Structure 1
Amino acid sequence: MSLPFLTIYLAQHTEIDPALAGLTVGLGPLAGTFCGFVGGNLSDQFGRRTVMVTAMFLWAGVYIGFAVAEHIVFFMLLNLLNGVCRSFFEPTSQALMADITPPERRIRVFGFRYLAINVGAVIGPLIGAVTGILAGKTAFLITGTVYFVYAWLLLLMLNHYRHDLTSHVTQTERERVGMRAAFQVVRNDAALRFFLAGAILANIGYAQIETTLPLYLKQNVVNGELLFSILLAINAGLVVILQMLLTRWSEKRPILQSLLIGTILFAAGMGCFAVGQHEAWFVIGMVILTVGEILIFPTNSLFIDRLAPDHLRGTYFGANGFQGLGFFMGPSLGGWLVQQLGGHWGFAVIGLVVIGAMYFYWMGMRVYQFRSCGLSQETSVVSSSVSGEKLQV
């Protein structure tokens, strides 16, 4: 309801150029890029409940801060903290879902999670069109209040089901792996590195939806703000309608196939934005891009789950936050390209960047398959001794 309109809010209430607005919005993903690993590892060591609840209460305060902030510096600091809270909460919640779900059903659970997010996003942009653009600060106040209520409900739920959430954990999985040793495991996982490189390129494209696209529509299309709200509603609505259908389709097919098809659709959506002067092109582009989104994002979570050792699941989901570099680079790069080359060439170049993700996804899956067959020597074993932690690769 509120954050997708932050770029427009900054343009209306501060005197900054599109590149600086994009940088401000991109600071949240940047913080998430480097803090997700920390949050995920802390959840492995101290439990999912502590990390999730703390992050959510802080997150509520961030949105209240957006409502009272006046200077661009405060918006930057708040969006940095916004990224930290997101990077702690999201990988921890995904790890918790994987903890308590049989492996064969996890793709559906990740699909349900993504569906739940988008159910809220169906009505959010329409409300944001009024409260976020016309009323300004109201949207942030509402969001902060909702997050605060959710934090309390989450705390009550996790307390009530505490036994059920921990009864499945074995003694081996309870062993804490320190930050340094966990970092060594992740750093030496070549499959993860290739996968993250591909995800970064794909996210550079996806980041344009909430940054470059609304500014471009506002400046070049009649009633561009209304069109942007409609596009966001189309995006979320299609996810709600098609998510489970496409999830059932993709769970019967190789992970790589879903990733490659989704990447091609991402690029095709950017291509439609590049063509578009008429509203129909933007609608078609959003429809195509959304189908790719449905295929890629739940499959991303499944691939990370496949890579992760059980006792480092939170750490791996946290490391997955490094793909947030794409969300950091995307707004500034997209804003600069559109400013320098115009919308046609700017979106076209972004589409070509997205296509490059296909190579890295393919390489990541290849390394993972070699490792699964015992053909790779990159299997990591973490062992602890009284004198310290060591890693064997």
Structure 2
Amino acid sequence: MPRIVWLLVVARAVNRIGAFSLPFLTVLISTEFGASTATAGLLSAAFGLATIPSRLAGGRLAVRLGRRRTIVLGLTGCGLAQLGIAAAGSLLAVAVFAVLLGLVFELYEPPSQGLIADAVGPADRVRAYGLLNAGLALGGTGAGLIAAGVGRWDLRWLFVVDALSCLACALMMRLVLPADRPPAKPGGRRPAGPVRPWRDRALWAMFLPGTVFALIAMQIMMALPLALERRGFEPADAGLLFTTSALTVVAAQPLLRLRLFASLRDSPSLALAYLVMAAGLSWYAVAATLPQFVLATAVWSLGEAIVLGRVLGVVAGLAPPGGADRYLASYGVSWGVATVAAPVVATQLLTRAGVGGLWGVPAGVLLVLAFAQLLVVGPVVAHRPSTGAAQVPVDDGGDGVGVAHDAR
């Protein structure tokens, strides 16, 4: 891998070490300011809504300001917004800083993913993005331990630690990334024809279940501290479970390269992953001890690792030559939608159905996804005429590369 790929992997790991404050935002709003669970969910949803224009702005700023400047701007903005949340003295102030955090939260993604896309050839992009995800997971192991320790002391300090990691990462990026080049002139290399991913039925077939999957993944992140509190555990114990999840993702990488898994076609592999995730969440619904929660976490995390390892390759394979960036960007909108909906869905399920329903309902939905993948999604994708993978980098018009977000 080129040097710049490793620099981005290391930087993301550094940033990830402190990035476990977001799942505790609803807990902070509820415990520190006495807001209802529903109110806490709505404020978290406001953060998620702000991340959608943030991703689009990141793509446009990368073109106008340059990638390095946009990355540094996004990370610095995240750090300052998190410090604002930590120092807020009222619910209104927390709400304002949460929205500001959302508006800068995704600025990093398009330019960083674009740097990787330009640094490696099409055949190596899956491996390069896999390294990035591995860096996130390794950083997540330390982040979970920090959350478990600092969260028992004061939840506000989680946001301080996250802010410091963002600022450290911003400084690292400013020092090690190559200087921004002048904006590209019109007439650069582009696809031979127009790229219209939203007119592709096969992309829609991937996008709809992908949005449901992203919603469930974000719901786990948002709701786990609250669910643990309802079961009589410390909310900070979620940090230990997040560490378990990160370690499982790292440990699963060599396992997923074994012939037993690698030889599976995409559709059966995704269906299997949904079933494994459903088993893990079903275990959450009945778990009564922390070791049981740890084992259940390892189960659903294995399923999630399988999904994330397959789905981007499928989406990129749907794109015409030169159009993979646009297809991945369009698919990546699913995570923005999920970030908006997850806090509301999670808090409403917890309020109306309790902890059992909070995990039982998404487990049932995952079972439906598994059958839909085999009976509907797989056939739609398989019978679509192949257009080939992208062969050249594309000026995506400011959309950025929409690879799955890290859910910090």
Question: What aligned pairs does 1:268-287 form with structure 2 within 5 A after superposition?
Answer: 268-287=279-298
Establish whether residue 329 from structure 1 lines up as the match of residue 348 from structure 2: no
8 Å CA contact retained: 2:62, 2:110 = no
Give the corresponding residue for 2:231: 220
Q: CA 1:192–1:215 in structure 2 vs 1: closer, same or farther (change >3 Å)? A: same
Please point out which of 29, 37, 49 is paired with 1:18.
Answer: 37
Q: One-letter code of the match for 1:39? A: G
Give the corresponding residue for 2:386: 373
TM-score norm. by structure 1 comes to 0.80
Q: One-letter code of the match for 1:106? A: R
Q: One-letter code of the match for 1:354? A: L
Please point out which of 127, 131, 142 is paired with 1:112.
Answer: 131
* Structure with the larger helix share: 1
8 Å CA contact retained: 1:10, 1:21 = yes
Question: What aligned pairs does 1:1-393 form with structure 2 within 5 A after superposition?
Answer: 1-40=20-59, 43=62, 48-159=67-178, 171-173=188-190, 185-221=196-232, 223-246=233-256, 253-308=264-319, 313-324=324-335, 325-358=337-370, 361=373, 363-364=376-377, 366-373=379-386
Percent of residue pairs identical: 23
Q: CA 1:40–1:366 in structure 2 vs 1: closer, same or farther (change >3 Å)? A: farther
Q: CA 1:84–1:371 in structure 2 vs 1: closer, same or farther (change >3 Å)? A: farther
8 Å CA contact retained: 2:241, 2:294 = yes
Say what the alpha-carbon RMSD is for the aligned residues. 3.3
Q: CA 1:256–1:73 in structure 2 vs 1: closer, same or farther (change >3 Å)? A: farther
- Extract unaligned runs of 5+ from structure 1: 375-381, 383-393
Range moving further from structure 2, 253-262 or 365-374? 365-374
Q: What's the offset of the Cα at 1:117?
A: 0.6
Question: 2-side partners of 1:308 and 1:86: how far apart?
Answer: 27
Q: CA 1:88–1:226 in structure 2 vs 1: closer, same or farther (change >3 Å)? A: closer
Question: 2-side partners of 1:252 and 1:42: how far apart?
Answer: 41
Q: One-letter code of the match for 1:300? A: V
Question: 2-side partners of 1:371 and 1:47: how far apart?
Answer: 37
Q: CA 1:274–1:138 in structure 2 vs 1: closer, same or farther (change >3 Å)? A: closer
Runs of 4+ displaced beyond 6 Å: none
Q: What's the offset of the Cα at 1:99?
A: 2.8
8 Å CA contact retained: 1:205, 1:267 = no
Range moving further from structure 2, 105-114 or 20-29? 20-29
| CA deviations over 1:133-175 (Å, ceiling 9, x no partner) | 4133323223222212211221332226x68xx99xx931499
Q: What's the offset of the Cα at 1:304?
A: 3.7
Q: CA 1:152–1:247 in structure 2 vs 1: closer, same or farther (change >3 Å)? A: farther
SS of residue matched to 2:108: helix
Q: What's the offset of the Cα at 1:365?
A: 5.0
SS of residue matched to 1:277: coil
Q: CA 1:109–1:189 in structure 2 vs 1: closer, same or farther (change >3 Å)? A: same
| CA deviations over 1:322-347 (Å, ceiling 9, x no partner) | 21222322222222122212222332
8 Å CA contact retained: 1:235, 1:287 = yes
8 Å CA contact retained: 1:263, 1:355 = yes
Question: 1-side partners of 2:174 and 2:129: how far apart?
Answer: 22
- Extract unaligned runs of 5+ from structure 2: 1-19, 388-393, 395-408
